[in-house]
Amino acid sequence: MSWDYDGHEGYAATIVVGGRKVISYGELMELEDGTHVADSDTIGWRTQCTCGWKAPLMFERVTDPAASLERWQVFDTEGGWPPQEVSEVCRAEWLEHIRPEINLAAVRQAAEDHRLSGERLDHAVAGARAGGASWTDIGRAAGVARQTAHERWKALSHSVD
């Protein structure tokens, strides 16, 4: 399973001996170098992104049911695909990785909304002026002083006052 956002694709990568990453799953797992290994060769899972980012820590696969697990260890007898709880944490890690991109996208959207609302306001003021509204009326409607309204929008129409 992978997650996409604006050029980033995150996923919980299955890691085998030697720190090698699995690229496809089947009867045997295929590695980046084209070799194939069994699911049981899984040593853990790490959050990765197609931009090259990797989480600093890997979830270590533990096969001994009697082992006392540390925070980054997961009991798993099968290997291969990451367990659900690992996938969920990996997704949360990836979301933190792309948080700056999400925040910048919010800024871009807000800036575009601001530009468009400014255009709508300019058109509304021009229409009000064409309809005979005074700068006092426009200022009051816009929540600013008459002089502020006049200075801001005087170029939109010929003065009626």
Tens digit of pLDDT for each residue in 31-71? Answer: 999 999 999 999 999 999 999 999 999 999 999 999 999 98
Distances (CA, A) of 21 to 32, 36, 97: 6, 11, 20
CA separation for the pair 53, 51 (Å, rounded): 6
Q: In this predicted structure, what is the pLDDT of residue 73?
A: 92
* Threshold 0.75, pTM exceeds: no
Q: What band does 7 get if pLDDT is binned at 50, 70 and 90?
A: confident
Structural domain boundaries in the chain: 2-104
Q: What band does 161 get if pLDDT is binned at 50, 70 and 90?
A: very low
Strand 73-75 relative to strand 59-62: parallel, antiparallel, unpaired?
Answer: parallel
CA separation for the pair 85, 67 (Å, rounded): 18
Contact call for residues 10 and 48 (beta carbons, < 8 A): yes
Q: In this predicted structure, what is the pLDDT of residue 156?
A: 85
Which residues face 44 on adjacent strands? Answer: 15, 60
CA separation for the pair 118, 124 (Å, rounded): 10
Distances (CA, A) of 130 to 22, 50, 70, 125, 161: 68, 55, 73, 8, 12
Give yes or no for residue 158 having a pLDDT over 60: no
Residue 137 contacts by C-beta under 8 Å, 6 or more apart in sequence? 128
For residue 12, report the phi and psi dihedrals to the nearest 5 degrees: -90, 105
Give yes or no for residue 157 having a pLDDT over 80: no
Polymer length in residues for the chain: 161
Q: In this predicted structure, what is the pLDDT of residue 145?
A: 96
Using CB atoms within 10 A of its CB, is residue 101 exposed (0-12), middle (13-18) or buried (19+)?
middle
Reported as a single tens digit per residue, the pLDDT across 60-117 is 999 999 999 998 999 999 999 999 999 999 999 999 999 999 999 999 999 999 999 9
Average pLDDT over residues 21-35: 93
Reported as a single tens digit per residue, the pLDDT across 114-150 is 999 999 999 999 999 999 999 999 999 999 999 999 9
Q: What band does 160 get if pLDDT is binned at 50, 70 and 90?
A: very low
CA separation for the pair 75, 102 (Å, rounded): 33
